[in-house]
Amino acid sequence: MSEIHLETIIKADSHKVFDLARDIDLHQKSTFKTGETAIAGRTEGLIELNETVTWRAKHLGVYQTHTSKIISMKKPYEFTDIMLRGTFKALKHQHVFKQDGENTIMTDIFEFESPFGFIGKLFNYFFLKNYLTKFLSTRNELIKQTAENANSGVVRYMQ
């Protein structure tokens, strides 16, 4: 199984960052390049424990659907989602939030396995891990901008 470990430091309260990280509407704004849209389950607002969301997006030139479920949640410290249906053989995404003074350290632990055995492992190593790291980083940057600019009343979305 491949793993991405990504830390983002955000100058905001962990409660705010936690809610932004599970906001379906904000997620869709962060994925405008792939046209990611929530099409079933929770399709707007804040996703909660045991809820599912089905996404439709164009990745690598192909439209794909992906259904995930929130399997654990301890507000405002962590939540974890897993893939129920989708392109991957397996996928688990842990979201961890730690208050550190004025900052929240938001940590993504993203574990995934591609299908197709050895060929899938090569694809992960040479391409997919980098692609997914950029995808998560873009999402995290919008969470950071939104959280840090919320106090000033100015919210800028990436376009």
Overall pTM > 0.85: yes
Determine the pLDDT at residue 156: 43
pLDDT tier for residue 51 given thresholds of 50, 70 and 90: very high
136-to-5, 111, 123, 139 alpha-carbon distances in Å: 10, 12, 18, 5
Give the C-alpha separation, 71 to 150, whole Å: 29
What does the mean pLDDT of the chain come to?
A: 91
- What confidence tens digit (pLDDT) does each residue in 57-71 have? 988 788 999 999 999
Superfamily of domain 2-149: START domain (3.30.530.20)
Closest alpha carbon to 10 in 108, 141, 154, 152: 141
